[in-house]
Structure 1
Amino acid sequence: MNILHLLKLEYIKFRYSAIIKFLLLLFVVLFPFLILGGKDIFVNVPPPLPSNSVFYEFPTVWEYQGYIGNWLLFFFVGFIGIFIVTNEVTFKTLRQNIITGLTRQEYFMGKLLMIITLAIISTIIYAVSSIIIGLIHTPGADMALIFDNNWSITKFFLMAMGYLSFGLFIGFLIRRSGLATFFYLAYIMFLEPIIKWSIFGVLNWDTLQDVVDSGPEGGVSVYNFVNYLPMNVIEDLHPNPFFRFPDNFLKGNDDINYDILITHEAAIIGSVIYISLFIFLAYKSFMSRDI
């Protein structure tokens, strides 16, 4: 199994794809300009932020760029994980690849290598744009300040792999482009949040109050269960940075006794587990079904 050969095959199949080119172009163009465009919008920022300079200076630029990248990966890059499977099913190139000599393992490995490559490219764009923006807006920045980023580059790569591997899994599971895309959007934007808030609603019943109170710090462990749902874990690799200031946003609300975000370490470990699970399920789905 030649890795370069498999990558070359994927490149040949999709090098003229207008959809992939369009999605990647939007990602590349919007990434640096969305945060820079906010200069004229967020002139005066609310407490606890000292000024809008935190969006562009080291080390906080990594967080804000990462959060923007979170949305861009979801909307643009994650779809490619679906497209590279469903497009081949639609045009029957999947069957043709197997008939002309590729084993199923090699075919799947080609898809896996492609999403890894896309995740690396996305991460490079994130790192380069963040460094350039930070250097422009942080006079006298040294290497220690530039890379004081809580493993932001590693977390961004995992986040890209999270969206892509989830898309790959949905693509192999459903195989129809429109339905797979709908499920991808519906699960991340609606289904998982509904599950999350439904659990909150159940746990607020008095009948379960003893269970909640039995957790450390008055139920933190029980409430935090919902933070470990798959896409929430992946999103928490680069969440909204404002949520790092919970005391300011939740002050006076005694009903909220749980953490909004999971820790960096938990997000990294959880993402690795879910990425591995998505890839495993995609592989099992592909290997167990007719081509």
Structure 2
Amino acid sequence: MKRLLAIELQKIWKNRASKVLTIGYFVILSFIALIAAIKFDIGIFKFHLAEMGIFNFPYIWHFNTFIAAFLKIFLAVIIVSMMANEYSYGTLKQNLIDGMSKKELILSKFLTIVLFAGISTVFVFIMSLLLGFGFSSYTEIGIVFSDLEYLLAYFVKLLGFFSLCLFLGILIKRSAFALGSLFIWFIFEMITYGISLNQIKNTALVDKVYDFFPLMSMWNLIKEPITRLSSVKNLQEAVGENSIKDYDVHFSSLLIVLVWTAIFVYSSYIIIKKRDL
């Protein structure tokens, strides 16, 4: 496995665009810390995000993983390009000639995906710890290390999304078209979801059905955290909105995304296995 992973990492690091995107991803990811610097003082109106409690433990695990998940598109481009370059440069065929089996080929790609998701999760974990101990009002160990399931959800979310990108990269062969297909599928899910809500008039039923769709299932792993803030809740109560929202990470949601991950990886293998390379 180390040999397969080393081969893939060498390909990525020797590609200038992939190298820049990888470094840029982690640099931009670290910019989450700059949110603490957002502060407005206009007369009696004062707005300071850090003072609103977004970096309080354990809320920070929810907030940071939710925000960091938006940046996964950077690594998605690398993964899609990784497959497109295999076809463009003929390295896919060369690897098979050199003795690598098609199963090992897919395994090497999947190991790279797991590594990217793992490193990203560890990075968010360390960054959140530093921000939390710097700004949180609660630093008791029991509070600090509660709600860590958001990190697990973040890892699974990246794993599922990157597996989808791998599948599209293998299926379509061209990075631009593969990313375009990903965007089209996102639009398809959003439009059909809206139409279903309008036609069925049963939000709970529609949500349960769309929980099984690929991108929607990944989105549902980490619910938006903004309305969980006490200041936002107080504002909602002031205007008469007392909606109760479930922010927890559920095992069923994790399982759905893991099943999609397995489907995408296995489908990628089937395509490679049957395709004349």
Give the shorter-chain TM-score range.
Answer: 0.7 to 0.9
Cα deviation, residue 229, structure 1: 1.6
Cα deviation, residue 66, structure 1: 0.8
Structure 1 residue identity aligned to 2:182: Y
Cα deviation, residue 222, structure 1: 4.3
Q: 2:154 aligns to what?
A: 156
Following the alignment from structure 1 to structure 2, what is the Cα–Cα distance between the partners of residues 197 and 235? 16
Following the alignment from structure 1 to structure 2, what is the Cα–Cα distance between the partners of residues 281 and 14? 23
Deviations 1:114-160 (A, max 9, x none): 11111111111111111111111125612211111151221111011
Q: 2:220 aligns to what?
A: 236
The answer to whether the 8 A contact 1:243-1:260 is kept is no
The answer to whether the 8 A contact 1:83-1:177 is kept is yes
Deviations 1:72-102 (A, max 9, x none): 11x2122222121111111111111111211
Q: What root-mean-square deviation, in Å, do the aligned CA atoms of Structure 1 and Structure 2 show?
A: 2.9
Cα pair distance change 1:153/1:25, threshold 3 Å: same
Following the alignment from structure 1 to structure 2, what is the Cα–Cα distance between the partners of residues 275 and 258? 31
Q: 1:202 aligns to what?
A: 199
Cα pair distance change 1:145/1:263, threshold 3 Å: closer
Q: 1:132 aligns to what?
A: 130
Structure 1 residue identity aligned to 2:64: Q
Cα deviation, residue 202, structure 1: 2.4
Cα pair distance change 1:52/1:194, threshold 3 Å: farther
Following the alignment from structure 2 to structure 1, what is the Cα–Cα distance between the partners of residues 167 and 244? 31
Cα pair distance change 1:42/1:187, threshold 3 Å: farther
**Structure-2-length-normalised TM-score:** 0.85
> Which among 100, 103, 127 is matched to residue 101 of structure 2?
103
Structure 1 residue identity aligned to 2:156: L
Following the alignment from structure 1 to structure 2, what is the Cα–Cα distance between the partners of residues 289 and 197? 37
Runs of 4+ with deviation above 4 angstroms: 41-46, 243-247, 257-263
Cα deviation, residue 197, structure 1: 1.1
Q: 1:88 aligns to what?
A: 86
Cα pair distance change 1:79/1:280, threshold 3 Å: same
Q: 2:55 aligns to what?
A: 56
Which structure 1 segments of 5+ residues have no match? 205-211, 213-218
Cα deviation, residue 71, structure 1: 0.3
Q: 2:210 aligns to what?
A: 226
Structure 2 residue identity aligned to 1:229: F
Deviations 1:236-289 (A, max 9, x none): 22232135589849x879xxx997978533321221111111112212122121
Structure 2 SS opposite 1:149: coil
How many equivalent pairs are there? Answer: 267
Structure 1 SS opposite 2:139: coil
Structure 2 residue identity aligned to 1:63: H
Bigger drift between 52-61 and 261-270 goes to 261-270
Cα pair distance change 1:285/1:260, threshold 3 Å: farther
The answer to whether the 8 A contact 1:70-1:235 is kept is no
The answer to whether the 8 A contact 2:153-2:254 is kept is yes
**Structure-1-length-normalised TM-score:** 0.81
**What is the aligned-residue identity percentage?**
23
Deviations 1:143-188 (A, max 9, x none): 2111111512211110110111110011111111211121123323
Cα pair distance change 1:286/1:45, threshold 3 Å: farther
Following the alignment from structure 2 to structure 1, what is the Cα–Cα distance between the partners of residues 143 and 118? 23
Deviations 1:187-222 (A, max 9, x none): 23x222112112212213xxxxxxx5xxxxxx7234
The answer to whether the 8 A contact 1:243-1:261 is kept is no
Q: 1:215 aligns to what?
A: none
Q: 1:264 aligns to what?
A: 250
Cα pair distance change 1:42/1:100, threshold 3 Å: farther
> Which among 164, 167, 172 is matched to residue 166 of structure 1?
164
Which structure 2 segments of 5+ residues have no match? none
Following the alignment from structure 1 to structure 2, what is the Cα–Cα distance between the partners of residues 130 and 42? 23
Q: 2:266 aligns to what?
A: 280
